[in-house]
Amino acid sequence: MNHLETRGLTVAYRAGGREVPAVRGVDLAIPPGGTLGLAGESGCGKSTVALAVLRLLPATARVGGSVLLAGEDVLTMAWGRLRAVRWAGASIVFQGAMHSLNAVRRVGDQIAEPVLLHESAETPASAARRAADLLERVGLPPRTAAAYPHELSGGQRQRVMIAMALACGPRLVIADEPTTALDVMVQAQILRLLKDLVARNGIAMMMISHDLSVLADACDRLAVMYAGRIVEEGPARQVFADARHPYAAALGAAFPVVGDPASRYAPRGLAGDPPDPAGSGTGCSFRPRCAVAEDRCAYVDPALWRAGPDRSAACVRVLPSEEVL
Amino acid sequence: MSGTPARPSPRALARQRRRLALSGFWRRYRRHRAGLLGLAGLVLFVLLALAAPLLVAPGDLSVTRAPHDAYQPPAPAHPLGTDNFGRSLLDLVVWGSRVSLTVGFLATLVSVGLGTLVGITAGHYRGVAGAVLMRVTDWFLVLPTLVLAVALATVLSRSTLTIVIAIGITAWPTTARLVRAQTLAVEARPYIERSRALGGGHTHIMLRHVLPNVLPLVLAQTTLLVASSIIAESTLAFLGLGDPGTVSWGGTLQDARRAGAVSSGVWWYLLPPGAAIALVALSFTLCGRAVEGALDPRSREGR
Amino acid sequence: MSAPSAAPAAPDRGRGSPRRIAVYLAGRLLGAAASMAAVTVTAFFLFRVLPGDPVRTMTQGRAVTEAQLDELRRQYGLDKPLGEQFLDYCSGLLRLDLGVSYQYRAPVTELIAERLWPTVLLAGTGTLLAAVLGLWLGTRAAWRRGRVVDQVNTGLALTLWSVPTFWLGLLLIVVFAGTGGFPTGGMATPGVRGPAAALDVAHHMVLPVATMVAVVYAQYLMIMRSSLLTEMGSDYLVTARAKGLRDALVLRRHAVPNALLPTVTLVFLNLGQVVAGAILVETVFSWPGLGQLFYQGLRLPDLPLVQGLFVFFSAGVILMNLLADLVYPLLDPRVRV
């Protein structure tokens, strides 16, 4: 059984009387211990997916489909059960840990908080010891527990976030842009730390980023989202190196491979803006920005289709030629 | 936003943009039900004050030739009862609105004008001048407002103008602080840099760039300040510092207390003037909050 | 394990070093001293502009000879040039001597000392209750934003805030003078002694305190509400919810401590103003405190008394501002020195 599975997940936000879709039918699956990278530009709905997994979306969001965490549907859980599953079943490493940590409480207390909440056997003293252990595991001296978030550097704060995410021994960690706010050297350290910890403890991970190269490095599998949908999914290396969907290819090319002279001359970047989520015409939503769009793209909106062994893409160009829907 | 070379004159463009902004402001203001209620109350009281000479004959407010008997409870001839001289309280309340509103507006004008001037100057000229101005503002801020106003009203001769000055001088520091903060924010924007590089002088920058950007904030502050100015006016009048020759809501309450209306339980002498003060102050407060909400879409206070 | 270079610099980077605390304290004390000096000067010159002859006011109506008036002038130092008067006043201030009241013929300092406690009792109780009530209701209003609780609370607060203090007091007196229940004036019933006296004072306090709270709490409610609403969208609250905390705990443990900071500062900053604001409540309820003393001083006007009280009230505000500056770093680790 997959540890996390979403089936036809949809999320729409109510804004000014109408519903604006943010996620439009996402199917994801992460087996126990598996790692999945979710990529896409800002506004494509990837963070919404992360929040939907623990039902953390604001009240203005309407969620449909199902989110199965170890076989249990999170979306229909009772509140008590949901609170028990949060953090103990799946935890989140948020981006920009400055704002995701409470500024007026010591980081040690913030790490110990979920321990005390979820494990009734723990005492404040034992939870504090656990917090110190966790800090050591993420490469911080235990005395960091007495610090306030603003006294730490960006990388240290992100380490605290990771220690906090591991506090209750979850079987799934969702890392939502864990390195976006950090400088490049620290990014690499944090990524390696996260990768090591997840691999060593057999934790499943969903990592979200706009940087395809980061995800390709840290995850087994990659899913690329565009306008609320997954447009390509497959083994990380293959999707990164040889994307079948033009958008995934453009996203991969946006980050040059250091030391690869070819990537310096390759055209990269993507003209145009993501489509307005409120209004979508007919046909493929990527068509207006697609360099290789064909006539049929104007009326065919392709679903995910098998695009090789163990991978799929939502582009008419991977469809068997006769099978135009 | 900008960039494309404009055919119409920049002035016309600016005018058009302002008109658009204004209609957008009104659209957002209308969403605040409480704000509309406040606006209605406001209009009502202003009309009342303007029409007072038509509604009340001058003789009706005379202490010696009062039209009714003293201490009459509400009756058709005097719907709100009469005071210790036999004047109708309705007449007193209608007439009193003139002083209360005038003082409220004028005192606010003084304090907002002073506050804006000091705030923009302190925000624009950083360095010694700005620091000194802020020091003075801070120092005014620590003076107990009511005590200072009372002291001023005691020291100066007893007149409505005195009350205006007393309130105006005590209320400006808050505005100055707000305006200064906004000025600093505006001056940090790149187009100020550009204007300076193009040779824009201090006056030009302050009047042409900072002031228009600060005005919305000042507007919200003004509406809120009128409410507290009206309360302050009634307070000073109640403490016996108002002009004894005019009829005002606070003055009427002081008369009531002096005449022993409190101990003898003549509630109708006390109720109308105070309720009028509260209603006007509430109207202004509701308006001010709606203005704030309409100007800053983020703080969309409960419609 | 990852790169050891990531080990943090000492997390307590220079925080709380005695030197920095000393510098911070010195700065605040200096600021307070400057304000105090400014107040002193203002108080003196403000009241010298007063028209009329204070000696004539003092002797109101009584038949006095010119010689007696001169004697009085000498007694109060009013015959000296202004500069000398100012120096006398300043040196007196340093010795905590605020002059002698015209109407009470007693040192102003003594009068203040006598009336201080009733005011502190009234304003202190009022502020405490108003703060607790305001913070609690503000939290509830923000949590249930836009619902009935919020609308009723905000509406009531705004209405009470618009009501003049003294009028509310007068209405309460009219109501309770008729029905009984609570005393409507004074601080104690003459002749009550022993433990019953404390109860008696508390009984007398009910209406003045209620008036004070009704007018003051609204401000705290509105600040707490908007402060909490600002926090409501914060990321750390999502973290707290993701940890599995109940909404009530998210509110109590995470949102409220953050939202409390601006509100508590405001409560402290307001303390001084509230003491001065007691003038109205005390006047209306004949509470024998500083406010009533000030009101009585105004009637004459009793120059040394009014001037002394002005200095005293201002000093109170400055002191409370200083206290707020000193308390804030204790509450918010981000500005800890």
Residues C180-196 have a mean pLDDT of: 79
Q: Rounded to 5 degrees, what are φ and ψ at C50?
A: -50, 125
Whether residue B192 is predicted with pLDDT greater than 90 in this model: the reply is: no
C230 domain residue, yes or no: yes
Show residues of chain B in contact with C279, CB under 8 Å.
Answer: 146-147, 150, 239
Whether residue A249 is predicted with pLDDT greater than 50 in this model: the reply is: yes
C31 domain residue, yes or no: yes
Decide if A51 and C246 are in contact by the 8 Å CB cutoff. no
A85 vs C244: CA distance, rounded Å: 7
Show residues of chain B in contact with C291, CB under 8 Å.
Answer: none
ipTM: 0.84
Residues B260-286 have a mean pLDDT of: 87
More confident residue, C193 or C138: C138
Examine chains B and A and say if they touch (3+ CB pairs below 8 A). Answer: no
Show residues of chain C in contact with A56, CB under 8 Å.
Answer: 238, 241-242
Q: How far does the CA of residue C4 sit from the closest CA of chain B (Å)?
A: 40
Structure token pair of residue A317: 């160009």
Sheet with A221-226, strands from edge to edge, namely: A90-93, A172-176, A204-209, A35-39, A221-226, A229-235, A312-313, A305-306
CATH (domain of C110)? 1.10.3720.10
C5 domain residue, yes or no: no
Decide if B277 and C164 are in contact by the 8 Å CB cutoff. yes
- Distances in whole angstroms, Cα of residue C307 to Cα of each of A243, B155, C48, C98, C155: 83, 11, 10, 8, 39
Q: How confident is the model at residue A96 (pLDDT cuts 50, 70, 90)?
A: low
Domain count, chain A: 1
What pLDDT is attached to residue A97? 61
Residue of C57, C161, C167, C321 to mutate, interface with B, max B Cβ within 10 Å: C167
Whether residue A325 is predicted with pLDDT greater than 50 in this model: the reply is: no
Decide if C272 and B257 are in contact by the 8 Å CB cutoff. no
Decide if A87 and C243 are in contact by the 8 Å CB cutoff. yes
Percentage of chain B modeled with pLDDT above 70 = 94
What is the sign, positive or negative, of the torsion defined by CA atoms of B110, B116, B117, B119?
A: positive
What pLDDT is attached to residue B4? 53
More confident residue, C138 or B73: C138
Domain count, chain C: 1
Q: How far does the CA of residue C30 sit from the closest CA of chain A (Å)?
A: 29
Decide if B142 and C272 are in contact by the 8 Å CB cutoff. yes
Partners of chain A (3+ Cβ pairs below 8 A): C
Residues B155-183 have a mean pLDDT of: 85
Show residues of chain B in contact with C294, CB under 8 Å.
Answer: 147, 150
A151-208: pLDDT as tens digits: 888 889 989 999 999 999 898 999 988 887 788 888 888 888 888 888 888 899 999 9
A135 domain residue, yes or no: yes
What pLDDT is attached to residue A264? 52
Judge whether C327 is closer than 8 Å to chain A, CB to CB: no
- Report yes or no: C266 and C220 within 8 Å, Cβ to Cβ: yes
Judge whether A51 is closer than 8 Å to chain C, CB to CB: yes
Decide if A104 and C6 are in contact by the 8 Å CB cutoff. no
Decide if B238 and C51 are in contact by the 8 Å CB cutoff. no
Show residues of chain B in contact with C150, CB under 8 Å.
Answer: 302
C203-216: pLDDT as tens digits: 889 999 999 999 88
Decide if C158 and B285 are in contact by the 8 Å CB cutoff. yes
Longest dimension (CA), chain C: 98
A73 vs A78: CA distance, rounded Å: 10
Show residues of chain C in contact with A181, CB under 8 Å.
Answer: none
Decide if C177 and B262 are in contact by the 8 Å CB cutoff. yes
A49 domain residue, yes or no: yes
pTM of the prediction?
A: 0.80
CA angle, C104 then C105 then C107, to 5°: 95
Instruction: Identify the weakest region by mean pLDDT among A252-266, B26-40, C296-310.
Output: A252-266
Whether residue B302 is predicted with pLDDT greater than 50 in this model: the reply is: no
What pLDDT is attached to residue C262? 79
C224-273: pLDDT as tens digits: 998 888 888 788 998 999 999 998 889 888 999 888 887 887 888 787 77
Residue of B143, B248, B303 to mutate, interface with C, max C Cβ within 10 Å: B143
Decide if C317 and B143 are in contact by the 8 Å CB cutoff. yes
Judge whether C194 is closer than 8 Å to chain A, CB to CB: no
Examine chains B and C and say if they touch (3+ CB pairs below 8 A). Answer: yes
What pLDDT is attached to residue B114? 92
Show residues of chain C in contact with A140, CB under 8 Å.
Answer: 6-8
Whether residue A53 is predicted with pLDDT greater than 80 in this model: the reply is: yes
A101-123: pLDDT as tens digits: 998 889 999 999 999 999 888 88
What pLDDT is attached to residue A223? 93
Range of the domain at A198: 4-257
What pLDDT is attached to residue A129? 92
CATH (domain of A148)? 3.40.50.300
What pLDDT is attached to residue B255? 87
Residue A169 has what DSSP assignment?
-
**Cβ burial, residue B285 (10 Å; 0-12/13-18/19+):** buried
B27 vs B300: CA distance, rounded Å: 13
A212 vs A39: CA distance, rounded Å: 6
Whether residue C123 is predicted with pLDDT greater than 60 in this model: the reply is: yes
- Report yes or no: B152 and B162 within 8 Å, Cβ to Cβ: yes
Nearest CA in chain A to C4: A139
A196 domain residue, yes or no: yes
Decide if C236 and A100 are in contact by the 8 Å CB cutoff. yes
DSSP C306-336: HHHHHHHHHHHHHHHHHHHHHHHHHH-GGG-
- Report yes or no: B166 and B149 within 8 Å, Cβ to Cβ: yes
Residues B124-142 have a mean pLDDT of: 83
Examine chains A and C and say if they touch (3+ CB pairs below 8 A). Answer: yes
Whether residue C93 is predicted with pLDDT greater than 50 in this model: the reply is: yes
Chain centroid, CA C142 distance in Å: 26
More confident residue, B112 or C64: B112
Residue of C236, C237, C332 to mutate, interface with A, max A Cβ within 10 Å: C236
Decide if C167 and B241 are in contact by the 8 Å CB cutoff. no
Judge whether A140 is closer than 8 Å to chain C, CB to CB: yes
Beta strands in chain A (DSSP E): 4-15, 18-30, 35-39, 61-69, 72-73, 90-93, 172-176, 204-209, 221-226, 229-235, 305-306, 312-313
Decide if B262 and C161 are in contact by the 8 Å CB cutoff. no
What pLDDT is attached to residue C3? 37
- Report yes or no: C187 and C287 within 8 Å, Cβ to Cβ: yes
Q: Rounded to 5 degrees, what are φ and ψ at B98?
A: -65, -50
Judge whether C2 is closer than 8 Å to chain A, CB to CB: yes
B249-268: pLDDT as tens digits: 988 888 888 887 777 777 88
The full set of domains in chain B, from first to last, is 88-300 (1.10.3720.10)
C124-133: pLDDT as tens digits: 999 999 999 9
A270 domain residue, yes or no: no
Decide if C242 and A87 are in contact by the 8 Å CB cutoff. yes
B58-117: pLDDT as tens digits: 777 776 776 777 777 777 777 777 777 778 888 888 888 988 899 999 999 999 999 999
Range of the domain at C102: 18-51+98-189+202-336
Show residues of chain B in contact with C50, CB under 8 Å.
Answer: 154-155
Show residues of chain C in contact with A92, CB under 8 Å.
Answer: 239, 242
Residues A275-286 have a mean pLDDT of: 70
Average pLDDT over chain C, rounded to an integer? 82
Judge whether C230 is closer than 8 Å to chain A, CB to CB: no
Which residue among C2, C15, C242 sits closest to A193, beta carbon to beta carbon?
Answer: C2
Q: How far does the CA of residue B262 sit from the closest CA of chain C (Å)?
A: 6
Decide if C238 and A51 are in contact by the 8 Å CB cutoff. yes
**Cβ burial, residue C15 (10 Å; 0-12/13-18/19+):** middle
